[in-house]
Structure 1
Amino acid sequence: MPKFFVFLLFYSLSFFSIEAQILKDTSSFTEKDSLRGSLRPERSNFNVLHYDLEVKVNPNERFISGKNSIRFETLDKLPKMQLDLYENMQIDSIISGSRKLTYERKFNAFFITFDEALGAKEEHLISIYFSGNPIVAKQAPWDGGFVFKKDQNGKPWIGVAVQGDGASLWFPNKDHLSDEPDEGADIKVSVPNGLMNVSNGKLIAETPQENGYTQWHWRTVNPINNYNITLNIGDYVHFEDQFQDLSLDYYVLLYHLEKAKNQFEQVKPMMQCFYEKMGEYPFTEDGFKLVETPYLGMEHQSAVAYGNQFMNGYLGTDLSGTGYGLTWDFIIIHESAHEWFGNSISVADIADLWIHEGFTTYAESIFVECTQGKDAALSYLYGIRKNIKNKRPLIGNYGVNHSGPNDIYYKGANLLGTLRSIVNDDELWWQTIKSFVEDFKHRVTNTEEVVAYFNEKLEADYTSFFNQYLNYAKIPVLEFRKNNKRVDARWKAEAKNFEMPIDVGFVGDDQAYRLHLTNNWIKTNLRMKDLENLKIDIFHFYIDFEFLDEE
C-alpha cells in the first residue's frame, strides 16, 4: 500500500484549523466559573429524577415564559439547594406544594434555602416559574443561544443550541453534566398557531391553547443531558421511515421536502453500519429524528438538529481533504453518532469532552470503513490531522466548565486510530468498541474510567499512552541517534514511563517490522546505512520523529 509508510526524510504536514470550539480558551477562572462547573453539597446532595418543562415562545418579542417542575431525590440532608438560570432571565417564583420558596441569586446560579433541611432519601417536587429574553446566538452552534430566523415564506423559524453554555441559558435546571434526569423529561412548548414545535422523544399531544397558541408535548423516557433538551419551531412537514424496530422521523420545511427525502436516505446505511460496529441505537423507545434547523447542527438526543443544506461533506467541503468526506453528509453522520458517544455515554465534567467528540469523530471513519473499506477509513483519519494544532492538552480544567481545545475532535479520533494500530487485532478492537457502548449505555463517566476499561478489554496497560495524548499538548516524537555504526531509538514524551510500539519498513520491502520502544534509549538492529531506505508508519500511528546527531 503506497500510503502505509512515509519516507523518513520527506515527512511534512501542513496545518489549518476548523474553528468550532465549544468553549473559549481561558487561563484564569472566577467564582462564576466555579459555581457553574463544580460540585458542592448544594448540588451533589440531590439527584434529579425528572424535568417537566413548559415554555411559551413569542417569536415577535423573542420572549419566552414558563415553568420547570423538577422532581428530585435527596441523597443526604439538604438545607440549601443550588439550581441554575442565566442572570438575564427572570425568576418569577419558586413553588413547592402550596408554599412559595425564597431564594438568592449569584451570577447564573440561584440558591433555595429551606426552612428545615430536607431529609436524606426523600422525594420532592419544586416548580420554578421564569421568563425573559434569552441570549440570542451570533453564530450557533459555536456560541450558545436562541436562533430567531424566518424561512423563505416569512414564517418564524426558531431553534436553540447551548452545548458548553448550558441549558440554564434558557430554562432553570441543575446545570451540571454529572446529573441527568433518570426518568427523562416532558417538554411542552406553546407556539403560535400554524407553527409546529419538535422536541426530544415521542410526540404525546398537540393541544390548542388560548390567544392563538398550540402546545406541543414531547416526552423522552431515557436520561438526557441538559444541553440536549431542545425546541425547534417552524412550518414543518413530517415524513417517516423505519430501520429494523427503530422509527425514523424527519421534520423539514415544506419546500425542502424532496431534497430531504433524497438526502436522508443516508440514515439507513448509517444505522446498519453503526449497529454492526457500535451496537443498537441507544434510545429506541424515544425514536430517532432529524429536524431541519436554522443553524448547522447539534446532537440533540432523539431530535438531531440538521442544517447542512442537504449536501454532502461539511457544507460541501471535505474536512479530510481526501475526497472521502464528500461521499456522505457530515452532519447526518457526525451528529447522529453522538447518540452513542455523548448522549448515551456522557461525561460528568466537560473537561473530559474528548470522550464525546473524539469517539464521534472516529465514528465518521467507521462509516467510511463500512462503505468504502479500511484503507479509505485510515486515509480519512490521516487527512483530518491537518486540523490538529497541538497547542493544548485534550483534557480541560475540571470543576470550572472548561473543555479541551478543538483538537478533541481530530486528535481524539487519531488517538483511537493509533490505539487500534497498536492493538493490531481488529476482531478484539471491534469487540471492545461494541462492549464499551453496551457497558457504558446511559452512563455518566470520566477519562479515568474509560482508560481503565480499555486497558481491561484490550488486555494491556495503555495508561501512559492515554496520558501522553490526553494530558500533554505534544504528540510523542520518535528519536533516532547514531551509536557507532548502529542506531539507537526512543520516544521523547512527557508522560511517565511512556511506551508504544511503532512499525517501520524498508524501500522495496512490503513487510512491517515492529519496534517496541520506551522513553529510554535502546539499541536497535538498524545500521546507519539502513536509514537511507527506512520508512516509518505515520499513516497508522499519529506521531512525529527526528534524527539526532551521534551520541
Structure 2
Amino acid sequence: MPLRFLLFLLILICHQAGLFAQYVSVPSRQDTLKGSITKDREWWDIKYYALAIEPVFGKKTIQGKNSITFEVIKSNHNRFMQIDLQEPLEIDSVLFKQQKISVEKEGNVWFLKVPDLKVKSQATIDIFYSGAPKESTNPPWDGGISWKLDSLGRPWITLGSQLIGASVWFPCKLHQGDEPDNGASLAISVPDTLVPVGNGRLKSRIVNSNGTVTYKWHVVNPINNYGLAFYVGKYVRVPEIYKGEKGNLSTDYWVIDYNREKVHSYLKNEVDKTLKTFEYWFGPYPFYEDSFKMVEAPYPGMEHQSAIAYGNGFKLGRINAKYLSTWDLKTDRLVVHEVAHEWFGNSITTKDITDRWLQEGFAGYAEELFIESQYGKKAAKEFFEARTIGRIKNTEPIIRRYGIYEDAGGHMYLKGWTIVHMLRAIVDNDEQFRKMLRAVNREFYHKTVNSIEVERFIGKTLGKNLQPFFNQYLREKDIPTFEYSIRDNILRYRFSNCLSDFVMPIKTNLTSDKWLNPTKDWKELRITPTSNSSLSIDSDFYVNVKRVE
C-alpha cells in the first residue's frame, strides 16, 4: 500500500476520531456522581425537605439549613449518605439526632457518615450551609442566583436551576428520580421591606426582632428539585379563583408593586385561557392542593412548581425572541409554555435529564394546542410550521447517555414537539389522541419516569406498535428519507436512512386521502394520472423526500 495513501488514511481516522470525541466525551467521576443512582444514594428515599434560608442581597450570599426526612429502603451498613451542594457553597455542619457527624467532600459532592439504621425506619438529618452561590448572568439558562434591581432600584432576587441542578443553591439529593414524597417547606427570611415568595401556600409570616421577616411556604405534593424556588422583591399579591375541573383553584399573582394593575388588564385572562385549554387536553391541573401562582421575574420564565416564574413583560409574543410569526404574536408564549410544564415536567418528571424531550416536547406541542383552541386547526398548523420547519438540527439523538446528567441540548425542544405533532397525525383521531394525553397524565400523575415506559404506555393505549417510530426519532440523529419513483402511473416508494424495522404511515399530494405505509422494502401503488410528477409529503410528517430513477 503506498505510503501517501497510508498517511491519508491515518489523517482521516484521526479526524473522525476527533469528531467522535466531540460528541462522545468521556464522563468524569463528578458526572457519574451527579447523574447516577450511586450506592450512597440508593439506600435512602426522600420524604420531606424543610428548608430555611436567608439570602443577603448586599453580599450576594446565602445561609441556611435543610432538614431532610428520609426512609431507609436498603441497609446502609458501610455506606455514606451522598448529598449534593455545588461550590462555592459549603456545608458548615451536619447534625443527626442533635449530634455532629463527619463529612467528607469530593468536588460538588458531600459524603455524610450516618450511623447504621434499620430498613423501613425514618429519620431526619439537619444540614447547615452558607456561602456565595454561583451567580446567574443569563437566567434561567446558565443557572444560579440572580441578584437584580427592579426598575425603581430595589432588590430583586430570583433563581433558576434546571440544567445546572438545584444543588447550586441548597443541599439535596440531586437525582431527579427521587422527589420528597410528602412535599417540602421553605422558610425565607429577608429585610422587612421586602416580600419573599415560594412554592405552594403561605403558611405563616413572622416579624423578627432584627428587622427581618420570615415567610414560610409549604407544598404537600411531591416536587422535583429544580421546581423548588424562591423570589424576593417588592411583591404584592393579587388573589383570584379559577373554576376548574376539580373545583375552585386558588390562582394568585405575585407581581412587583408597580405592575399590580396589569394582572387584571392582561395576565389573568391569558392564564385562565391557558388553564382551560390544558385541563381539556391533559386533565385537571395537577396541584390543586398547593394552589397556582404566577410570580413576576426579571428573566423570561421557568416552570417552578405552583410558583411559575413569569417575565414576558405582560405582552403577547416572546420576549427577546427573533423571527416571530403572526401566530407567535397572538399568544403569550411564556404563559402557555411554562403552565404546560405543570403537567409535563412537574407532575410527570423524567428521572434522568437525558429524557427531557418528554417535558419540552409536550410543552412545545401544548403551545400548538393553545393556538388551536383559540384560532382553529389551520392556524395551529401554520404556527407549527413556522416554528419548526428548517429549524431542527439533527446533530445528535435527543436521548443521549443515562447516568451522567447529560442533556440533549436545545434542538430537543423542536424535535420533541415535532414527534408529538406526528403522533397525533398518525393516530388520525382527535378524540382518541386527547384520551391518550389524559390517560398519560393519570397513569404517571406525580411520578418520575423514564422515556421508554411512557413510550410503551402510549403505544398500548393507542393500540399501535410505536416503538420503531420512537426509536427512530428519539435514539437516532438521522431522520428517514422517503424515496420514490413514478413510471407509467406506478408509484414505487420506500423509506431509507432509517432503522430496519421503521414504519410510519404518511400522506402525499399524489395519493390524496389514501395513507401509504412505507417500510425499507420497495412497494408499488397505481396512482391517478396527473400532470404533477413531483411528490411532496404533508408537513405533519418529518421526513426527507428523494426522487430516484
TM-score by length of 1: 0.91
Structure 2, unmatched stretches of 5+, are: 1-21
SS at 1:189's partner residue?
A: strand
Aligned counterpart, 1:378? 381
Aligned counterpart, 2:19? none
Inter-partner Cα distance in structure 1 for 2:468 and 2:135 = 43
**1:49 has 2:53 as partner:** no
SS at 2:398's partner residue?
A: coil
**1:438 has 2:445 as partner:** no
Aligned counterpart, 1:502? 506
Aligned counterpart, 2:92? 92
Question: C-alpha offsets along residues 48-71 of structure 1, whole Å, 9 cap, x if unaligned?
Answer: 000000001111001110100000
Counterpart residue identity of residue 228, structure 2? I
User: 1:362·1:416 contact (CA, 8 Å) conserved in 2?
Assistant: yes
User: 2:489·2:526 contact (CA, 8 Å) conserved in 1?
Assistant: no
How far residue 334 of structure 1 moved from its aligned partner, in angstroms, is 0.5
How far residue 483 of structure 1 moved from its aligned partner, in angstroms, is 6.8
How far residue 113 of structure 1 moved from its aligned partner, in angstroms, is 2.1
Aligned counterpart, 1:6? none
Which of 397, 404, 412 matches 1:400? 404
Aligned counterpart, 1:15? none
Aligned counterpart, 2:68? 70
Counterpart residue identity of residue 226, structure 2? Y
Inter-partner Cα distance in structure 2 for 1:531 and 1:193 = 77
Which of 316, 335, 341 matches 2:344? 341
Aligned counterpart, 2:471? 467
**1:286 has 2:285 as partner:** no
User: 1:334·1:361 contact (CA, 8 Å) conserved in 2?
Assistant: yes
After TM superposition, the structure 1 = structure 2 runs for residues 239-258 of structure 1, keeping only pairs within 5 Å, are 239-244=238-243, 245-258=248-261
Tell me: CA distance 1:372–1:209, structure 2 relative to 1, closer, same or farther (3 Å).
same
Inter-partner Cα distance in structure 1 for 2:97 and 2:31 = 32
Aligned counterpart, 2:316? 312
Inter-partner Cα distance in structure 1 for 2:437 and 2:530 = 38
**1:191 has 2:185 as partner:** no
Inter-partner Cα distance in structure 1 for 2:282 and 2:497 = 32
Tell me: CA distance 1:536–1:485, structure 2 relative to 1, closer, same or farther (3 Å).
closer
User: 1:503·1:514 contact (CA, 8 Å) conserved in 2?
Assistant: yes
Which of 334, 358, 363 matches 1:360? 363
Aligned counterpart, 1:123? 122
SS at 1:387's partner residue?
A: coil
After TM superposition, the structure 1 = structure 2 runs for residues 503-542 of structure 1, keeping only pairs within 5 Å, are 503-506=507-510, 511-526=512-527, 532-542=532-542
**1:300 has 2:304 as partner:** yes
Greater relative CO (CA pairs within 8 A, separation 6+) = 1
Aligned counterpart, 1:206? 205
Inter-partner Cα distance in structure 1 for 2:487 and 2:522 = 11
Aligned counterpart, 2:101? 101
How far residue 164 of structure 1 moved from its aligned partner, in angstroms, is 1.4
Structure 1, unmatched stretches of 5+, are: 1-23
Aligned counterpart, 2:5? none
Counterpart residue identity of residue 326, structure 1? L
**1:81 has 2:77 as partner:** no
Counterpart residue identity of residue 127, structure 1? D
Inter-partner Cα distance in structure 1 for 2:395 and 2:223 = 32
Inter-partner Cα distance in structure 1 for 2:428 and 2:134 = 49
Counterpart residue identity of residue 475, structure 1? I
Inter-partner Cα distance in structure 2 for 1:363 and 1:128 = 39
User: 1:290·1:304 contact (CA, 8 Å) conserved in 2?
Assistant: yes
Aligned counterpart, 2:546? 546
Question: C-alpha offsets along residues 322-349 of structure 1, whole Å, 9 cap, x if unaligned?
Answer: 4111111111110011000000011000
User: 1:25·1:405 contact (CA, 8 Å) conserved in 2?
Assistant: no
Inter-partner Cα distance in structure 1 for 2:262 and 2:149 = 19
Aligned counterpart, 2:334? 331
Aligned counterpart, 1:452? 456
Tell me: CA distance 1:531–1:351, structure 2 relative to 1, closer, same or farther (3 Å).
farther
Aligned counterpart, 1:20? none
Tell me: CA distance 1:531–1:123, structure 2 relative to 1, closer, same or farther (3 Å).
farther
**1:36 has 2:37 as partner:** no
Inter-partner Cα distance in structure 1 for 2:356 and 2:412 = 7
How far residue 443 of structure 1 moved from its aligned partner, in angstroms, is 0.8
Stretch of structure 1 that moved more, 86-95 or 321-330: 321-330
SS at 1:117's partner residue?
A: coil
Stretch of structure 1 that moved more, 538-547 or 72-81: 538-547
SS at 1:494's partner residue?
A: coil
- Identify, as 1 or 2, the structure richer in strand: 1
Counterpart residue identity of residue 82, structure 1? Q
Inter-partner Cα distance in structure 1 for 2:45 and 2:209 = 35
Tell me: CA distance 1:209–1:465, structure 2 relative to 1, closer, same or farther (3 Å).
same
Question: C-alpha offsets along residues 476-495 of structure 1, whole Å, 9 cap, x if unaligned?
Answer: 11111367874421111332
User: 2:496·2:520 contact (CA, 8 Å) conserved in 1?
Assistant: yes
Question: C-alpha offsets along residues 408-455 of structure 1, whole Å, 9 cap, x if unaligned?
Answer: 211111111111111111111111011111211101111110110011
Percent identity between the two aligned chains:
36
Stretch of structure 1 that moved more, 326-335 or 260-269: 260-269
Question: C-alpha offsets along residues 229-272 of structure 1, whole Å, 9 cap, x if unaligned?
Answer: 10100001111211111011001111122223322121111111
Aligned counterpart, 1:261? 264
Tell me: CA distance 1:531–1:64, structure 2 relative to 1, closer, same or farther (3 Å).
farther
User: 1:468·1:493 contact (CA, 8 Å) conserved in 2?
Assistant: no
Tell me: CA distance 1:349–1:410, structure 2 relative to 1, closer, same or farther (3 Å).
same
User: 1:29·1:400 contact (CA, 8 Å) conserved in 2?
Assistant: yes
User: 2:92·2:129 contact (CA, 8 Å) conserved in 1?
Assistant: yes
User: 1:318·1:324 contact (CA, 8 Å) conserved in 2?
Assistant: no
How far residue 377 of structure 1 moved from its aligned partner, in angstroms, is 1.3
How far residue 25 of structure 1 moved from its aligned partner, in angstroms, is 7.6
